[in-house]
Structure 1
Amino acid sequence: MNSLLATTRAEALRLRKWPAFWILLGTWIVLNLTFVYVFNYIAYKTGDAGKMSNGLPRDALLQQMLPTAVPESFTQGMAMFGGALMLILGALAVGSGYGWGTWKTVFTQGPKRTEVVGGTLVALAVTVAALVLAAFVIDVSVASVIALSESQSVDLPSISQSLNGIGSGIMILGMWTLGGVLIGAIARGPALAVGLGLVWVLVVENLLRGVAAILGPLQTVTDYLPGTAAGSLAGAMRTVQGEPVPGVLDILSRSESLVVLGIYLVAFAAGTILLIRRRDLI
């Protein structure tokens, strides 16, 4: 346990000192604010209910920018765009250790491989939880400012709503982060891992779901892909229906999505530990 805590602290320090770490986290916060509030507020003030406002009427658009809607709103972009950024972070966190040769030094002179990888996973888990909490707090603050500026009551989301939103966000981003970690371990390098991960998130799953609409048997597989589970969990948070948000789906129920995401979390973490323990470093 002491070794695991020590490696967790070391990995957390490595991540904090890494510019790419802050760039990726900051990019997601900016994208979240831009798509949830900036574009929607511009559409609301200009009266444009077109593509920028996701097809919602003006009143519904305002309701989506109020504090009570934060648990729903801030999870909508996590299934695809937020997930892609966190997959990059996971892939870089592990793949860069091979590219820079640091894993070779640590594994031959330091703690056991399981403890080192476990520390990396714990540090990334804390990062995901902190990012989701930070995004939630920032979104509530921005939504409160919008509510005051539009003479609306500042009603905060209920505790159950907040916990559902935060928990869903941690599950979605955590799954994609561990997916990136596994790809980084498989590719043993950051560049290939990032490329493969982005192709899967942005291209492959969408193509498979498109083909499944023609080939019925394939749909059984596509209904339980990582992106489908993440998109379905984000979709289960929706209360206002507009034009589809990229990556947000309604294929699985909330409970099914949670079970599938939990299975992927365990599988990705176990697969990463097994690969790094059993393979050579070169």
Structure 2
Amino acid sequence: MTTLVATSRAELFRLRKWPAVWVIGGAWLVLNIIFVYVFNYLSYVDGSGFAAGTPKELLLERLLPAGVPVGLAQGTPMFGGAIMLTLGALAAGSGFGWGTWKTAFTQGRGRLSVLAGTVAGLAAVVLTVVLTTLVVDLGISTAVALAEGQELVYPGLGQVLRAVAGALLVLGMWTSAGVALGTLSRSPALAVGLGVVWVLAVENLLRGVAGALDWLAPITDVLPGSVAGSLVAALGATPVSQGGAPGVVDTLTAWPAVALACGYTLAFAALTVWLVRRRDVG
């Protein structure tokens, strides 16, 4: 336990001082603000933009505090997934690229303790990103409500907790996938490239092809991206087929999506543990 605490503190120190982590967190916040609030507000004001044709009442509803839970989660399947997968891939891949894991593994500390410290540090980063996004969204939505003369009606605690839990599960799954890819490839650049291509391109192409090939649909419905999109749709986000955020789909109901997301997270973690224990560190 002492080793685990020490490695967790060391990894948190590394992540906190690493500019890439701040860039990744900042990129997610900027994307969230732009796609959830800026574009919707511009469309609400002049009736144009990417949400042109959407009733103004619906656009305003998305911008008010009551819409924060959905806004928090709706970007996590695709854009948030790609960003957090990048974080996990960089954290694990750099451990090999910089030689830090090799040094730690050969200094008497157990490999799994070192890996657990990295996972704990990444979990803290993901939690911080989600909670920061929640606070920023509440602040922006409150400002919009005041500017538009709307009554301040905040979401219930249960709604907020479900949204936070859903966002943590989706982003945690993608972070776990990134760590597995970084450990498998031992190269942050290769892991990031493969992961981002999968999240942003491959799954979308497969879902498109599944529309013409019936036998492929059951497979694409349970891929990680579809699972994440279905989980977010169960939280109230509009599927992309109905004009919602990219990556949001409704191929699965809530609990199967939650179960599969947990399963993927554990499977990626198990692969990482197996690779760390069985492979040579050189």
CA contact (8 A) 2:78 2:200 kept: yes
Take 1:141 and 1:2, find their aligned partners in 2: how far apart are those partners? 40
Structure 1 residue 39: deviation in Å?
Answer: 1.1
Counterpart mapping for 1:29-108 below 5 A: 29-48=29-48, 51-53=49-51, 55-108=53-106
Take 2:237 and 2:205, find their aligned partners in 1: how far apart are those partners? 27
Structure 1 residue 210: deviation in Å?
Answer: 2.0
Counterpart mapping for 1:177-192 below 5 A: 177-192=175-190
- Match in the other structure for 2:117: 119
Give secondary structure in 2 for the equivalent of 1:75: helix
Take 2:74 and 2:263, find their aligned partners in 1: how far apart are those partners? 22
- Match in the other structure for 2:22: 22
- Match in the other structure for 1:166: 164
Take 2:36 and 2:72, find their aligned partners in 1: how far apart are those partners? 7
Take 1:218 and 1:17, find their aligned partners in 2: how far apart are those partners? 44
What are structure 2's unaligned runs of at least 5 residues?
none
Take 2:259 and 2:99, find their aligned partners in 1: how far apart are those partners? 37
Take 1:110 and 1:148, find their aligned partners in 2: how far apart are those partners? 58
Equivalent position to 2:225, from 205, 224, 227: 227
* Cα distance change of structure 1 residues 240 and 108 upon mapping to structure 2, 3 Å threshold: closer
What are structure 1's unaligned runs of at least 5 residues?
none
- Match in the other structure for 2:267: 267
* Cα distance change of structure 1 residues 30 and 110 upon mapping to structure 2, 3 Å threshold: farther
Residue type of the alignment partner of 1:5: V
- Match in the other structure for 1:245: 245
CA contact (8 A) 2:238 2:244 kept: no
CA contact (8 A) 2:24 2:83 kept: yes
* Cα distance change of structure 1 residues 155 and 127 upon mapping to structure 2, 3 Å threshold: same
1:200 maps onto 2:219 in alignment: no
Equivalent position to 1:145, from 143, 146, 166: 143
Give secondary structure in 1 for the equivalent of 2:244: coil
206-215 or 173-182, larger mean C-alpha shift: 206-215
74-83 or 216-225, larger mean C-alpha shift: 216-225
* Cα distance change of structure 1 residues 220 and 32 upon mapping to structure 2, 3 Å threshold: same
- Match in the other structure for 1:254: 254
Once the two structures are superposed, what CA deviation does each residue of 1:147-169 show, in whole Å capped at 9, x if it has no partner? 01100011111011101110110
Residue type of the alignment partner of 2:267: A
CA contact (8 A) 2:199 2:225 kept: yes
Structure 1 residue 101: deviation in Å?
Answer: 1.3
CA contact (8 A) 1:98 1:189 kept: yes
Take 1:187 and 1:36, find their aligned partners in 2: how far apart are those partners? 35
CA contact (8 A) 1:184 1:190 kept: yes
Structure 1 residue 222: deviation in Å?
Answer: 1.2
Take 1:239 and 1:189, find their aligned partners in 2: how far apart are those partners? 35
Once the two structures are superposed, what CA deviation does each residue of 1:153-190 show, in whole Å capped at 9, x if it has no partner? 11111011101110110011110011000000110110
Take 1:194 and 1:132, find their aligned partners in 2: how far apart are those partners? 21
CA contact (8 A) 2:237 2:248 kept: no
Take 1:6 and 1:233, find their aligned partners in 2: how far apart are those partners? 35
Take 1:279 and 1:187, find their aligned partners in 2: how far apart are those partners? 12
- TM-score when scaled to structure 2? 0.96
Take 1:223 and 1:3, find their aligned partners in 2: how far apart are those partners? 41
CA RMSD of aligned residues (A): 1.4
CA contact (8 A) 2:47 2:53 kept: no
Q: Kindly, what percent of the aligned residue pairs are identical?
A: 50
CA contact (8 A) 1:4 1:116 kept: yes
227-236 or 51-60, larger mean C-alpha shift: 51-60
CA contact (8 A) 2:29 2:133 kept: yes
Query: How many equivalent residue pairs?
Result: 280
- TM-score when scaled to structure 1? 0.96
Take 1:11 and 1:246, find their aligned partners in 2: how far apart are those partners? 33
